[in-house]
Amino acid sequence: MTMDMLKKFSLSGLVERFGQSFRRFPIAMLLTMFLACFLIYLNHNGDVSDKMVFFLIFYPATAALLAVALSLLTEDFKSVLLAVAVQVVVHGAWLAVSINLSQFDRFSLPLLIAVSATVVAIGLAVFLICFYRKGHDLKFWNFSIRTLLSLAAAGTIGAVLTLGLFALVESVKLLFGVHINDKIFADIASVCMVMLAPALFMNLIPKGKNKYLDTAPEFSGFSKGVVQYLFLPLLGLYMITLYAYAIKILMEWSLPMGGVSYLVTGSMVLMVLLIYITYPIQHVEGNKLFKRVTRWTPVLMLPLLALMTVAIGRRLSDYGITMSRLYLLVFNVWCYAVCLWLIITRNKRIWLIPASFAVILLLISVGPQSIPNMTQRQLKEEARTAFSASGFQQLPLTGGQYEQWLKQADPKVARAIDSKLHYLYIDYGYSAISDLLAKDAITGRHSSVDEQGAIIDDIHDSYRNDDMIKNSPVPQGYASMTMVYGSDNNIVKVDGDSLLIEVMDGKKDEHRFAIDVKQLAAFDKGKNPDGIERPMMIDNGEALLVVDSFDIIVHSTGNSYINFSGLLFTK
């Protein structure tokens, strides 16, 4: 089908296909057209609020994908009323979700993961939503392969058309000396990649009888060669390496390293791809090699999954829970289920592999029971319990109180809790720990505490705020303004958490300012409830330093490193 489309490629053919796509997927077509037009408008007129920009890009893009999935599902409904009702209810719900998302100034990590997982599930639904009935595996295989090829063809044609028009514009500029605004390149990309390519893809999605083909295609010698001499050797090398590593572990009676999970994951992905690609020839006469390999590969994968389980367990035991480790653990359990399912069904019902992946991804990523939310609750509860056990009942702790707790707590407990709070701050943002620590509390700097209670810290955290000064006027009482940049050479003295830096104005006069690391920490943009970047102002009585970007690292040895930029106002 894709090759036929390429042979008939012409302007009139494109127009005809555009109309066919509109008749089959009207909502998706309208949304992609709107998105392309809005991107062009945005390219020429940026007078739109950030929240509105997010909504007018996110909603049309994701709703168009949703519309394709819903159209594929409802076009087979016998009741037109039911088809319309399903479309209205689902689209209405997604519109409400998109409006709600656009109200956020910034996404927390759990919300970002939830949105991403939902969009991935919608994308998988395009391939899966019509094939939930038993006995539709071959139909699913034919449809998914053809749809993937259509997506690749549409994307390639859109990219070639985009690059061709880019070259044409450059040629006109060069040959005729015509001035053309460079914004036209973004306009071309919007039309070709956001409107034409999706329209072409929608037209190429199998329909009618082609949507439910249940005949096994003939595999060419080239296709069999690619599988036999590329996929099989690569998968074999992965598995041989892992089995050799497992023998080494048994001989040394040691625990596997965490990195083994990546090799097992790669082997699992290759196995699923091999079974998926060769599915039609696994259930016909002949092809004994593929039948044997695909029949025994899930069995051979089970010991490797056990190796992965032990590696994950070791990481959890040594370093505690994190979001990525819990995701990896759930993936590991899912892999067990997939292998057992393939063994029991003899590689049938492969539709359930991507379907179960999508469902589980939603369950562990969206809602209060999601892994990100569960991890956050667990780590915060551990910190709250540790504070309470030491007599610190009143939360949030100030920077001084947190320093005091770190000194008097058991060194191992202090190191563990500080590490967990720092993890929450870096991955979830300050809002995740704002009920535990005040803005001036610095996490991640305490690796241990000696017997006398002195902090033995390896390194301070780094803080950064960028581009906070927007058209700053000279404040009243000051005569001139100088842009300043600083590095280690600007440090005059280090006294605990205080740094004395020296900068020069436009007249080469020197000005000294005392910078407190805790004060910088409090100005980190992640610690502002609204997430808005604000400049830090330091007044030494004679000059004013407005810092808009900074990085500070302070070692316990006394060596300090700083990079900053800002404006210096002098009288």
Q: For the ranges 64-73, 226-235, 419-428, 520-529, which has the lowest average pLDDT?
A: 520-529
**pLDDT at residue number 118:** 96
pLDDT tens-digit profile of 433-492? 989 998 878 787 665 444 444 444 444 444 444 444 445 567 778 888 888 887 766 676
Which residues 6+ apart lie within 8 Å of 232 measured at CB?
Answer: 274, 293
- Grade residue 495 by pLDDT with cuts at 50, 70 and 90: low
**pLDDT at residue number 488:** 65
**pLDDT at residue number 552:** 65
- Is residue 201 a contact partner of residue 1, using CB atoms and an 8 Å limit? no
DSSP E strand boundaries for 361-509 = 448-449, 455-456, 480-486, 491-495, 498-504
User: Closest Cα to residue 118, out of 323, 331, 362, 353?
Assistant: 362
- Residue of 7 and 431 predicted with greater confidence: 431
pLDDT tops 70 at residue 427: yes
Q: Decide: helix, strand or coil at residue 431.
A: helix
Q: Decide: helix, strand or coil at residue 28.
A: helix
**pLDDT at residue number 455:** 43
Angle, helix 137-176 to helix 197-204, in steps of 10 degrees: 150
**pLDDT at residue number 348:** 82
Residues above pLDDT 90, as percent of the chain: 42
- Is residue 127 a contact partner of residue 145, using CB atoms and an 8 Å limit? no
User: Closest Cα to residue 508, out of 541, 489, 486, 482?
Assistant: 482
Residue 9, number of CB atoms within 10 A of its CB:
11
Helix H or strand E segment including 566: strand 560-570
| Among 25-34, 133-142, 277-286, the range of highest mean pLDDT | 25-34
Q: For the ranges 174-183, 320-329, 505-514, which has the lowest average pLDDT?
A: 505-514
**pLDDT at residue number 183:** 92
- Is residue 429 a contact partner of residue 525, using CB atoms and an 8 Å limit? no
**pLDDT at residue number 408:** 87
- Residue of 494 and 78 predicted with greater confidence: 78
**pLDDT at residue number 429:** 80
* Residue pointed to by tokens 């996929």: 231
User: Closest Cα to residue 521, out of 510, 506, 536?
Assistant: 536
Mean pLDDT, the chain, integer? 83
Note the maximum CA span of the chain: 91
pLDDT tops 90 at residue 178: no
State how far the Cα of 189 lies from the Cα of 412, in Å rounded to an integer: 55
pLDDT tops 70 at residue 174: yes
State how far the Cα of 419 lies from the Cα of 382, in Å rounded to an integer: 12
State how far the Cα of 420 lies from the Cα of 417, in Å rounded to an integer: 5
User: In a 10 Å sphere around its CB, with 0-12 CB exposed, 13-18 middle and 19+ buried, how is residue 186 labelled?
Assistant: middle
User: Closest Cα to residue 207, out of 134, 274, 147?
Assistant: 147
Three-state SS sequence of 412-452: HHHHHHHHHHHHHHHHHCHHHCCCCECCCCCCCCCCEECCC
Helix H or strand E segment including 106: none
177: which 2 tokens?
A: 């000396």
Which residues 6+ apart lie within 8 Å of 140 measured at CB?
Answer: 127, 128, 131, 350, 351
Q: What are phi and psi of 398, to 5 degrees?
A: -75, 170
- Residue of 331 and 553 predicted with greater confidence: 331
User: In a 10 Å sphere around its CB, with 0-12 CB exposed, 13-18 middle and 19+ buried, how is residue 246 labelled?
Assistant: middle
State how far the Cα of 457 lies from the Cα of 446, in Å rounded to an integer: 5
| Among 157-166, 257-266, 393-402, 472-481, the range of highest mean pLDDT | 157-166
Q: Decide: helix, strand or coil at residue 466.
A: coil
State how far the Cα of 19 lies from the Cα of 290, in Å rounded to an integer: 43
State how far the Cα of 524 lies from the Cα of 308, in Å rounded to an integer: 39
State how far the Cα of 117 lies from the Cα of 119, in Å rounded to an integer: 6
**pLDDT at residue number 523:** 64
User: Closest Cα to residue 460, out of 563, 549, 554, 557?
Assistant: 554
Query: Rounded to whole angstroms, what are the CA distances from 48 to 41, 61, 95, 184, 507?
Result: 10, 18, 20, 20, 41
pLDDT tops 70 at residue 220: no
pLDDT tops 70 at residue 140: yes
State how far the Cα of 247 lies from the Cα of 230, in Å rounded to an integer: 26
> How does DSSP assign 345-357, residue by residue?
HTS--TTHHHHHH
Q: What are phi and psi of 498, to 5 degrees?
A: -105, 135
pLDDT tops 70 at residue 403: yes
490: which 2 tokens?
A: 């600007």
Rg, C-alpha atoms of the chain:
30
Bond into 473 cis (ω within 30):
no
Q: What are phi and psi of 390, to 5 degrees?
A: -95, 5
pLDDT tops 90 at residue 20: no
State how far the Cα of 448 lies from the Cα of 443, in Å rounded to an integer: 13
pLDDT tops 80 at residue 528: no
**pLDDT at residue number 458:** 42
- Residue of 185 and 505 predicted with greater confidence: 185
C-alpha dihedral sign at 298, 304, 305, 306: positive
Residue type for position 250: L
> How does DSSP assign 41-77, residue by residue?
HHHH---S-HHHHHHHHHHHHHHHHHHHHHHHHHTT-
pLDDT tops 60 at residue 347: yes
Query: Rounded to whole angstroms, what are the CA distances from 151 to 131, 148, 154, 430?
Result: 19, 5, 5, 41
Q: For the ranges 146-155, 193-202, 444-453, which has the lowest average pLDDT?
A: 444-453
**pLDDT at residue number 2:** 47
7: which 2 tokens?
A: 């042979």
pTM as predicted: 0.77
